[in-house]
Amino acid sequence: MQPADPRPVRAGHALVTGGGRGMGVAIAAALARRGCSISLLGRTAATLGQTAQRLADEHGVPVHHALADIADEAAVAAAVAACRERLGPVSVLVNNAGIAPSAPFLASDTALWRRVLDVDLMGAVHATRAVLPDMLEAGRGRIVNIASTAALTGMAYVSAYCAAKHALLGFTRALAIEMVRKGITVNAICPGYADTDIVADAIANITAKTGRSREEALASLLAHNPQRRLVQPDEIGETVAWLCSDAAASVTGQGIVLAGGELMP
């Protein structure tokens, strides 16, 4: 019997966008624990440098970091080239960098829409375009897009974010089919509200605009989550690592929901 194709990616070079803080750190750590060398791509040198040092110290793997605004295609291409030069061809890409500004639709102007689409959708497109030749040449690769439950349902006050994340899931599914016989899997993870700065900012926004307490604001965000708790970044990191393992060789084109039962697509 032929072995499963696409061939699994074991410890290789994993590139995580937005890897300096939040979920990106937990994702990079989960991959470093499996022996991957890590590139962190982001726009804030101080956070990236500190995280890179900590990951290298804790996991004993090479960790490189490179600067780029993910919305800037040329900057992303140059940063990926620098990562490749340092740690070799990229075998795992995690498109994690993202923003989630909230405002009612009529207060969300075109500049806000363009920025969210440029970062949350086109950022993943730019990074994927930059690494895909490595994966095609190797005949193997893993791409994981960090989408959101907002990729699967509508949510008030984040119309641009919902549109970008729906599009990111559409891109995931289309590329998965295009890559299905080339040894490359493409999946998305759709977390519910998770314990990172994005949610801390959302809570601060709610308390400022409504006068509610922090606890009330958090409870309102978790009202639709049957587990009534924030998803922990490590849960997302471990799911990414599983998608990059032998066990997930047949999983492609999926949007895996981590949201305590909030959605059951």
Ligand X SMILES: NC(=O)c1ccc[n+]([C@@H]2O[C@H](COP(=O)([O-])OP(=O)(O)OC[C@H]3O[C@@H](n4cnc5c(N)ncnc54)[C@H](OP(=O)(O)O)[C@@H]3O)[C@@H](O)[C@H]2O)c1
Q: Which residues bind ligand X (CB under 6 A)?
A: 18, 20-24, 42-44, 47, 69-71, 96-100, 119, 146, 148, 191, 193-194, 196-199
| Least distance from ligand X to the Cβ atom of residue 114, Å | 12
What gap in Å lies between CA 92 and CA 27, rounded to an integer?
11
What gap in Å lies between CA 21 and CA 86, rounded to an integer?
22
| Least distance from ligand X to the Cβ atom of residue 173, Å | 17
Q: In 3-state terms, the chain is what percent helix, strand and coil (to 5)?
A: 50, 15, 35
**Closer to ligand X at the Cβ: 37 or 51?**
51
- 8 Å CB contact between 196 and 23: yes
**Is position 193 annotated as part of the catalytic site?**
no
**Closer to ligand X at the Cβ: 164 or 248?**
164
| Least distance from ligand X to the Cβ atom of residue 139, Å | 29
Q: Which of 123, 125, 140, 161 is catalytic?
A: 161
| Least distance from ligand X to the Cβ atom of residue 77, Å | 14
In the chain, where do the E strands start and end? 13-17, 37-42, 63-67, 92-95, 141-146, 184-191, 255-258
- 8 Å CB contact between 265 and 255: yes
What gap in Å lies between CA 150 and CA 44, rounded to an integer?
26
What gap in Å lies between CA 108 and CA 215, rounded to an integer?
27
Chain centroid to CA 256: how far? Answer: 12
**Closer to ligand X at the Cβ: 102 or 148?**
148
**Closer to ligand X at the Cβ: 94 or 249?**
94
Residues with catalytic function: 161
